[in-house]
Structure 1
Amino acid sequence: MTTDLIFDNTEIAFSLKSDSELERAYFLFKMISIEPLVRIGTVATNFAIKAHLPIEGLIRSTVFDHFCGGVNEEDCLSVIDKMYEKGVSSVLDYSVEGKENEKEFDSAKDKILKIIDFAKEINAIPIAVFKPTGFGRLSLYEKITKGDNLTVKEQSEWENVVNRFDAVCRKAKANDVAVLIDAEESWMQGAADSLVTQMMEKYNTEKPIVYNTLQMYRHDRLDFLKEEHKKAKIGKYFLGYKLVRGAYMEKENERAEEKGYKSPICKSKALTDENFNAGLRYILDNLDCMSVFAGTHNEDSSYLLLNLMKEKGLLNNDPRIWFGQLYGMSDHISFNLANKGYNVAKYIPFGPVKDVMPYLIRRAEENTSVAGQTGRELALLTKEKKRRKTL
């Protein structure tokens, strides 16, 4: 049983883009497709920001406005409203990275609590998200993952991390807003996983509110999913998972080689794809106690999920199944799915321009390294530009 091929409809995909926005998108992806240019641009941008050169206006009108919703929640509202008119929901992602002290962690927690309150009032925002390292130091998660003893000061620090997670998950349950907790580097993930499982046990008593993230480029994640399923059956709580392929591959492989351990990453892209698709199948076979947020820009995996839903006789808008893509990318998947009535959400990064730059640089580098991603975007944008010229 196959699903109709729906992702080639560029009229629907780019219905929110004006001609000038279409041209800007084409220009950006053309630039991103040139790897040396991305490397030079990254170095130049980092230098300009550190030297306090007046480049924020240029960044804001190009790469920032394409990949980000705004500098704060209110600034994102026009983007959120426009997309919701087309059936696409939003996940507001406070994309400020690399903070290191308790005051900044508390500030990040307060920002997420504010977003959850914001989401309660706006139907277009059914889901919130945060990164574990937004709430605590990477090295602290790493120490716990390794099983090292914590100092008295570190124990107190970890209690603060647990309390931040708890405050956010408690508020999410009270507001009936799902909260996705991102995955990060494998050497810190064990501590984050244990903490998220605690939160699921506590708050996923009627349905999934708290979602962990599984990076399926890790060859151990399918087994992890099955073990968590066993625990949930015994504990009688629900599981929510965001499935992604993963964004730290080079870093993971380099560290494994440097420290002499087996890399946690699948040996090939094909094995990663198999692992991701196996994760989708497993969750779809266990929807009685699981929900999935499929975070993917991959058309084949998206079609697989559509076919699995059809085979199981599920409604397009079954509340246990969401599709998700990043704002500024894969509009051909997001808007065509929403047009057919599926649950779709765009991750909308926001924050002060200079603070969001590490995120934007990673997006550019990721687009350069993912085979076919940028070429696909350019082909679709070209097709839509030609279509509009014939009108």
Structure 2
Amino acid sequence: MSTNLIFNNTETAFRLKTDSELERAYFLFKMIANEPLVRIGAAATRFALNIHLPVEGLIRSTVFDHFCGGINEEDCLPTVDSLYEVGISSVLDYSVEGKETDQQFDATLEKVIELTKFAQHKDAMPFSVFKPTGLGRFKIWEKVSANENLSASEEKEWQRIRQRYDEVCQVAHDCSISLLIDGEESWMQDAADQLCEEMMEKYNREAPIVFNTLQCYRWDRLDYVKEAHKRAKAGGYKLGFKVVRGAYMEKENERAQDKGYPTPICESKQATDALFNEVMQYVLDNLQDISLFLGTHNENSTYLAMEIIDAKGLMKNDSRIWFGQLYGMSDHISFNLAEEGFNVAKYIPFGPVKDVMPYLIRRAEENTSVAGQTSRELSLLKREKERRGI
């Protein structure tokens, strides 16, 4: 099958879905395509959970089971194993957001360490992952990014964040598991970038253990990559980058407008796409120093990456290049890439239903704002239903 057609292969894309799971996916994306319905559903779900209505079973059997692997890592294993049988690896993502206390941050640290050690014994799980604000308060990240003076207690808090980073990176290094550190809002990201580079300098001497995330809807990210590359070459360490388009666009633009500074976001979707492709090209041109985890649901960028890999004469399964998509989305990309022999990983969120709901609501809201994403999912699901005669 020619490259420009592989993502249309729905038989491969949905090979693991039963007929009932296919029907559920079609129903969910029909719901997500309706923006007012998503808003109402999100508000109703938050309300129902906050007043402890017995809705977890309903959530679990619909949106949760489609987008999440389970409530704990053991719960995720059947999904991890079935994906690996068709050549797709897994990144288990403990998707609990919005915590505020040291006790909660230490608990998240222990969970990430536990998952990293768990991955060490599973060939299907070459990565571990965490969010910077999973290990420390957003306000501290924000103050450090703005170069504001910290109080004595805040300085201690910042040092605890650094210690948590160091601890989890050390475990990842010892387990030979690559560690993906997610990107967040621009006004806390400078501190996260700086701390991530410190960890790279310490732990990426022989191999890229620590990966930072580049959100390419930010117009400054190509310049940042080039400067980070210079620092890495001077310091004698490897870089790892997860390259994505980004997840906080509306929030970024609103804050910039409210506070009267230029938006850090590219002026258009086309500009974001162009920058994403430039960053991807730069990393693929410098694989001797930088490894790539390409987190994208965009078919054109994925085809371009495949063409560059082919033009450079690289192996499809070159260990320095991975493609990644979210569980429950873009199976036409993930499964067909894996069928072609590329390195592919699914991000699989998990956690207690109530704790994971902020993530799921954000995911649904993002889908409504990505032009064409939901309609593409629907058209492929419809085609596979017709192929199966259901």
TM over 0.5: yes
- Name the counterpart of 1:358: 358
Which SS does the other structure have where 1:6 is aligned?
helix
For 2:376, give the aligned amino acid.
R
Number of matched pairs: 389
For 1:175, give the aligned amino acid.
C
Cα distance in structure 2, aligned partners of 1:4 and 1:168 = 41
- Name the counterpart of 1:296: 296
Which SS does the other structure have where 1:128 is aligned?
strand
- Name the counterpart of 2:71: 71
- Name the counterpart of 2:110: 110
After TM superposition, give the deviation of residue 3 of structure 1 in Å.
3.7
After TM superposition, give the deviation of residue 5 of structure 1 in Å.
2.5
> Is residue 257 from structure 1 mapped to residue 257 from structure 2 by the alignment?
yes
- Name the counterpart of 2:7: 7
After TM superposition, give the deviation of residue 207 of structure 1 in Å.
1.3
- Name the counterpart of 1:137: 137
Which SS does the other structure have where 1:7 is aligned?
helix
* 1:256-295 matches, cutoff 5 A: 256-295=256-295
Cα distance in structure 2, aligned partners of 1:77 and 1:3 = 32
- Name the counterpart of 1:48: 48
User: If the length of structure 1 is used for normalisation, what is the TM-score?
Assistant: 0.99
For 1:30, give the aligned amino acid.
K
Q: Which shifted more, 149-158 or 294-303?
A: 149-158
- Name the counterpart of 2:318: 318
- Name the counterpart of 1:156: 156
Cα distance in structure 1, aligned partners of 2:60 and 2:382 = 24
- Name the counterpart of 1:378: 378
| Deviation digits for residues 309-357 of structure 1 (CA, Å, limit 9, x no counterpart) | 0000000100000000000000000000001110000000000000000
Cα distance in structure 2, aligned partners of 1:95 and 1:342 = 26
After TM superposition, give the deviation of residue 4 of structure 1 in Å.
4.2
Which SS does the other structure have where 2:261 is aligned?
coil
For 1:141, give the aligned amino acid.
W
- Name the counterpart of 1:32: 32
Cα distance in structure 2, aligned partners of 1:23 and 1:284 = 39
Cα distance in structure 2, aligned partners of 1:69 and 1:138 = 27
Is there any run of 5+ residues in structure 1 with no aligned partner, and where?
none
Cα distance in structure 2, aligned partners of 1:293 and 1:210 = 11
- Name the counterpart of 2:99: 99
Cα distance in structure 1, aligned partners of 2:263 and 2:312 = 36
* 1:239-258 matches, cutoff 5 A: 239-258=239-258
Is there any run of 5+ residues in structure 2 with no aligned partner, and where?
none
Cα distance in structure 2, aligned partners of 1:113 and 1:238 = 22
Which SS does the other structure have where 2:305 is aligned?
helix
For 1:54, give the aligned amino acid.
P
Which SS does the other structure have where 1:65 is aligned?
helix
Q: Which shifted more, 3-12 or 319-328?
A: 3-12
Cα distance in structure 2, aligned partners of 1:229 and 1:108 = 30
User: If the length of structure 2 is used for normalisation, what is the TM-score?
Assistant: 0.99
For 1:216, give the aligned amino acid.
C
For 2:306, give the aligned amino acid.
L
- Name the counterpart of 2:221: 221
Cα distance in structure 2, aligned partners of 1:81 and 1:293 = 21
RMSD between superposed Cα atoms in Å: 0.8
Cα distance in structure 1, aligned partners of 2:103 and 2:43 = 29
| Deviation digits for residues 72-120 of structure 1 (CA, Å, limit 9, x no counterpart) | 0000000000000010000000000000000000000000000011000
- Name the counterpart of 2:194: 194
Which SS does the other structure have where 1:328 is aligned?
coil
Runs of 4+ in 1 over 6 A off after TM superposition: none
For 1:88, give the aligned amino acid.
I
Cα distance in structure 2, aligned partners of 1:16 and 1:168 = 33
After TM superposition, give the deviation of residue 196 of structure 1 in Å.
0.0
After TM superposition, give the deviation of residue 389 of structure 1 in Å.
1.2
